Amino acid sequence: MFSTIKKFSIVFVSLILLQCSEQTKENHPEQIDPAKTFKEFITKHLDGYKNHRRERVTLLGGGWVNEYFEPEKSYKIDVQKTNSLITPFTGFCEFTLTRHITAFHKSKDAAALDKIVIKSDQTVHKHYYGFQENEWIVTSREHQKISTSPSNWYDCNEILQAGEQKGLTNLEGCWEDYY
């Protein structure tokens, strides 16, 4: 009888210690490898372009085009520890997206049928993230066209305010919705 109680006590204490260990991991994000999780997060985002190229028909200055985006293979990332209890880590990713576009068309339907790329341009993106409640969330995103002269940085969350495509957002193909 004493042996059974002793075994039960050992199992019970072991379960309590295991539960405490799990709660400690949840309440202390420093137990998580932030660099590893951030790299996995960014890899998942950039690999998402393989299955969803953010293809769409859009109206540009010369007419309707079919466009899609693909990231360059190289990118830069960094993760830093903060003093914040809410956001104990921040992450940064810089990558280049190439936008491929078709010829200009007079109608949206004609552009949708065109799959022949005639031009490409590139945009550098800088995305900033915070690690909150064990997940990486976007805090800000900006982009800059690659050109021969320096240009301004623009918010990736820009929303068209007027015209036929009023309300269109993520103009530079960088949205994270498709993993």
What pLDDT digit, counting tens, does each position of 34-74 carry?
999 999 999 999 999 998 898 999 999 899 999 999 999 99
The answer on 134 and 121 residing in a single domain is: yes
The span from the CA of 69 to the CA of 53, in Å, is 5
How far apart (Å, rounded) are the C-alpha atoms in residues 131 and 8?
40
Instruction: Supply the pLDDT for residue 7.
Output: 55
Query: Predicted confidence band at 176 (pLDDT cuts at 50, 70, 90)?
Result: low
Does residue 161 share a domain with residue 174? yes
pTM metric for this prediction? 0.74
Are residues 125 and 150 located together in one domain of the fold? Answer: yes
Q: Any alpha helices (H) in 100-164, and if so which ranges?
A: 108-113
Residues 134 and 156 both lie in one domain: yes
Range of the domain at 8: 1-31
C-alpha to C-alpha distances, 137 to 133, 140, 142, nearest whole angstrom: 10, 9, 15
d(CA 43, CA 53): 15
C-alpha of 71 from chain center? 12
Q: Are residues 62 and 12 in the same domain?
A: no
